[in-house]
Amino acid sequence: MRDPNDTQDVDELRSALHAIVDDVEPRGDTLPRLLAARQRRSRRPSRRPLIAAGGIAVAATAAFLVVLAVVPTGPRAPEPVSIAPNSYVAAPATSLASFDVLTGKRNDVLADLPAPVRGSLAADGNRVYATVPADGGSDIVVLGPDRIVRPVAHRTGSGTALAAGDGLFAYSDDDEIVVDGAGPARRIPVPAGQQVHDLAVGGGGRLAVLTSDSAIHVVAPGAGELGAPVPQPAGTCGPRALAWAERDLAVLAATDCGGAERLRIATLDADSGRAIGGGVPFGTGGDVPAEQVQLSVDRVGRYLVSAGDGRQWLVDGTDVRPVAPACSDDGCAAAPATFWG
C-alpha cells in the first residue's frame, strides 16, 4: 500500500511539468506573425546599392588624397650630393663640380659660388670647404649634402691654408691657426715670421701643419700650440704639401733640393718622423710652389696631386698618371682640387 504523501508528491511534479511545457510551446498565432513580418521586409528597398555607392566614394577620396601626396605642389628640392666612384672636387670658374679622376669627365655641377675660389679646397666626407673673397677679407664656405653653400667662418688676413676632417675644419689667418666645427673655436699661434703653407686634419682631430720654414708640426687634439717640429729623414728636400694616410703622414716633396721639377710622396711616422716609404718620383714639367699645390688621398690609398695652374697627377702605388685639368664651359679651375668622400 502506498503512502498518501508519495501520491501527493507525484501530482505536484506533474503539475510543474505541464507548466514548463506551456511556457515553451508556440502560440497558435506564431506562424502567421512570422510570415507577415517576412513580407514586410521583402517590400523594403534594398540598402546594398547605397552601401556600394558609399564604398566607391570612399575609394575615390582615398585616390585623390594619394595623388595630392605624390604630385608635388611646389618647386622640387635639389637632389642630395652624390659621390661618384673615382671622383674629386674642383672649382672651375665660380662653381664647385665633381670630376672623374681617370677620364677627366665632369660628373656633376655641385653648386655655384659667389666668387672664384682663393687657395685650396678641402673635403670631409661629402662636405666641401672653400675660401672666397668677401668684404674685409675672405669667407670660408661649406657645401653640405643638401647642395646649399653656407658661410662658416671669416678670415681677415691673407692666409689660404685650409683643411677638413673628422668633423672639423682648420684654416690659417695671419699669425694663428683656427680649428673649428665642434664646440668653441681653438686658436693656435704661429711663430713670428712664419707662414702656414698647408694643413691636414686627421683621425681624432690631430692636426698636421707645414710652415714656411719647411717644418712639419703635429698638434694633438685640444692642444693650443704647435710644439716642436717632427724630425724629418736626412736628405729630405723642402716639403710642398702633406696629408694624413691613416695614422701616418704623406709628404709631397721634391727629389732634388735645387728645384721641384720632380716630386715624390714619402710616408713618415707622425710621431718620430721615421721614413716608412720613399715614394716613386715623377716629373712635373716645372716648379710647383708649396702654397699652390694640394695633396689629398682617397679611401683606397691613391693620391691626387693638384696644382693651382691646372696640372694634376694621380699617384697609385708605383703608377703615376697625369689628370686632365678640371674645366667647365666657363673656364678651368685656378685652385688646387681635392679628393672627397
Same domain? For 24 and 123 the reply is no
For residue 253, being part of any structural domain is answered with yes
For residue 310, being part of any structural domain is answered with yes
Structural domains in the chain (count) = 2
The candidate with the shortest Cα–Cα distance to 309, out of 331, 293, 290, is 293
Same domain? For 144 and 252 the reply is yes
pLDDT in tens, 276-293: 999 999 999 998 888 899
Given a cut of 50, the residues of the chain with pLDDT beneath it are 1-4, 6-7, 10, 17, 20-21, 23-26, 31-32, 34-35, 42-74
Same domain? For 94 and 11 the reply is no
The C-alpha atoms of residue 308 and residue 121 are separated, in whole angstroms, by 11
Query: What local confidence, expressed as pLDDT, does residue 12 receive?
Result: 61
Same domain? For 325 and 237 the reply is yes
Same domain? For 208 and 136 the reply is yes
For residue 147, being part of any structural domain is answered with yes
For residue 78, being part of any structural domain is answered with no
251 CB-near residues (< 8 Å, 6+ apart): 216, 236, 239, 241, 242, 265, 266, 267, 268
For residue 208, being part of any structural domain is answered with yes
For residue 158, being part of any structural domain is answered with yes
Residue written as grid cell 691636414: 200
Residue 19: phi, psi to the nearest 5?
-65, -40
Query: What local confidence, expressed as pLDDT, does residue 56 receive?
Result: 44
Query: What local confidence, expressed as pLDDT, does residue 174 receive?
Result: 87
Four-residue CA torsion sign, 177, 182, 218, 164: negative
Query: What local confidence, expressed as pLDDT, does residue 13 receive?
Result: 55
For residue 82, being part of any structural domain is answered with no
Q: By the 8 A CB rule, do 327 and 92 touch?
A: yes
Same domain? For 56 and 174 the reply is no
Query: What local confidence, expressed as pLDDT, does residue 16 receive?
Result: 55
Range of the domain at 206: 87-339
**Is the entire prediction scored with pTM above 0.75?**
yes
Query: What local confidence, expressed as pLDDT, does residue 8 receive?
Result: 54
Element (H, E) at 153: strand 149-155
We report the CATH number of the domain holding residue 195 as 2.130.10.10
Q: How many residues does the chain have?
A: 341
Same domain? For 193 and 259 the reply is yes
For residue 266, being part of any structural domain is answered with yes
